[in-house]
Structure 1
Amino acid sequence: MTTDSSTPGLFTQRLRGTIAVLSSALSWWFSQLGQMLPARIRAGWQQDSFNLTLQLQDQQLTFSAGQQRWTLQAPWEKASLPDTLKPLIAKAQNATLCLPENMILQTRVTVPRNARDYIDNVVRFEMDRLTPFRADQVYFDTGPVTDEPGTEQCHTQLYLVPKDKLETLLNQLQLLGITPDRIIPQAFLSQQDSNLNLLPESDEVSQRSRYQRFQFALICINLLLLVSVISLPLSEKQSQIEALTDEVAQLRSQAEQVFQIREERQTLFQQQQDYITLQQQQSSVLSLIAELTRLLPDEVWLSKMSMQGRSLRIQGEADNASELIALLQNSGKLTDVSFYSPVTQDPRTGKERFMISANQSQGARHATK
């Protein structure tokens, strides 16, 4: 259906087709459910399910509902409606208005084949060229599109009615409590598969529109229930995942504290080892100093003593430096005793200057520890 204010494209047409398929499926579903109802309720339900058809011919308006027919002469007034027709107007699912041929203008429209999905937009743009009216002056719709063999073109029939005439007619029907949701030419009354509708979308507020909205609401509810059935277990799993994530975070925090305590313990242990090593080195140096004090004669002067690891170097002056080698070698705490540099004589004191190197024995080191 085409309106004067909206611009339906390919997406709109496909969406409309999808809704039609869903509506048909729901109708079949409801019909199958209806077969399970008691006969009295099913009869009442079927009686309420019908379409109201209005045929206009000159000033005569004919109503059709199933096998029943009523004719209303002008002027049309609600008070003049038959009593049997009034409840049917309120119960009708939809109302179709058939216009006579003298109210509808019809012309053939030819467009390129690649524009067939947008033919309504093409017609709206070319309305003032195809007809004596502008697009905002008429309500229109196009019929089935047919390809022209051997060409890259297709054609369709354009049906239109001036706005002023149609709006006047709709206002008169509104006074009767009737709001059509479809307006077609008289010739299309017998074509059940036609989607032609001259009525603008903004005026489709009839019983059928509400019924379609009800069907769409049912589809949405079913989809919502389906999503709920799927999402509830997922939500529960998500809650479990979040709980496990919190537990993992707590355990990770505890593990980090344990690693921090372990690192502090390693640091303290290393400091303790360094202290013990330093203390042992000091004890070893003190032990060597005590041993040298015991071994060396009183006339020997030591001016410098250095120790690195097991290596010991002493520097000083003595009357006879050579006898110091034997004294130190026989101590049992030193090994590899030898002069590190040649012995020289101090001219001022007359004593011999010496520099002796030695290694601390392993037994002495263990005894120190």
Structure 2
Amino acid sequence: MSGVRDTLQRFRTRLGPGPRSFLAWWGQALATWLPVRWRVLLGLTGDRLLFQRQDDGIEMSWLEGTQRHRLAQLPAAITADELRALLGNRLAGLPRWWLIPDGMALRRRLLLPAAAAERLHDVLRFELDRQTPFTANEARFDARVLGVRPDGQLDVELAAVPTAAFAAGVSGLGDLADGLAGGDVEDAGGAPLGVNLLPEAARMTRQAPQRGLHVALAAVAGITLVLAAWAVLDNRRAAADAFASQVDSRADAARQVAAQRQQLADLVTGTTVLSQTSARRPTALEVMDDVTRRLPDNTYLEKLAIEGDRLTLIGFSPEASGLVARLQRSPLWRNPALSGALQPDPRTRMDRFTLTAELLGKQDPAAAPAGGADAAGRD
């Protein structure tokens, strides 16, 4: 047994003290909870120990991925407790498989429809008596899919062992037969085929060590994820509220700017209209000059007022009734008329008049001399 211990010690040294990190250890433990098919699909099948009866002993091998390492030759009477003491914590946690010798199993290559992949074991149960000398009740059988042909058919390899021979082989493992997780068939090269002939009821499902701790850690991780998601959601909500208030404040500022811009536009428009209107109307100096030219010398004004487009003249003249004719044809106003009756002034012996006219826009300077000449002729 000392030689067995030395051999196992070398392999334990090769394996290392255990998982290289907490996450690796936890990941390996969580992987043991997955169904076998899921572990195969995800590549999480892991290592396993293979046991095979050899003469008066039991050969123990370690399957690492696709490589088989022969560990030690165990005595046939070894017990499960003795084996556990020899293996240590790391190797003792590996599933144990019986490796069926190649010559003990009957192997056949089959072509099956693609639909048979979902219920392969049930299909083989009906095909077993046609492909082998045994019925489904007389043999332990399983199959592996080697590939899919271009026409969709499955290339399957069937492996079967008579029930009596299978039971005898399992009993040859002694006390180790109670903890088996499966029974695989050895191919010509000494590697397992990848089938499991052990009935499901007899398979040993190994629980992950420290399962309670794993459940607690999983619960903590779940709660942490929920709290993290809640924190992220709360941060997003706070950011959205801050962004909304920022948008509202900027919208208010934008509305104020738009109102000020509209006021400025209205002011510019009004100023432009006023400037254009003022530019079209004659200036007060031009009106006064034209009035002075058209009134006779014996007439003087008391008031000259320009309100919008209305011209008002108030004054005294001995020829008040003829002033309307003198103010006609001016390019600066139109429709001159006396407003109210003439009022004689005994002091000056003149008539007090009030005369109004409607101012016009500026005309072409070419028209002004004609009016001016006509006024001069009348003077």
TM-score range, shorter chain: 0.3 to 0.5
Q: Which has the larger radius of gyration?
A: 2
TM-score, normalised to structure 2's length? Answer: 0.39
